[in-house]
Amino acid sequence: MGFNKRHIDKERIISAFKSDGAKGITDLYRADAIFMPANSPVCHYIDKIMSKNESIEYKQNLIDVYMTQLLEGIYPFK
């Protein structure tokens, strides 16, 4: 049994969402340690959602709404 760490950036989040939807993003968080860039609003927002004390279904719904709006251009890419 090893230590599972994951480096997550904006491109990886977008790729996971495009291929598997919100479930793809929540699956990225199945690791012992998560490393993200400090200057990415996308990573920061997803991290805030994932750290909420809510059900996985609620988190996936928030992610789905945010990512859909992001990809439609409602939020700026940074």
pLDDT tens string 10-68: 999 999 999 999 999 999 999 989 999 989 999 999 999 999 999 999 999 999 999 99
Residue 4 has a pLDDT of 86
| pLDDT higher than threshold 80 for residue 7 | yes
Residue 21 has a pLDDT of 96
DSSP state letter for 74: S
Residue 78 has a pLDDT of 60
pTM for the whole thing? 0.88
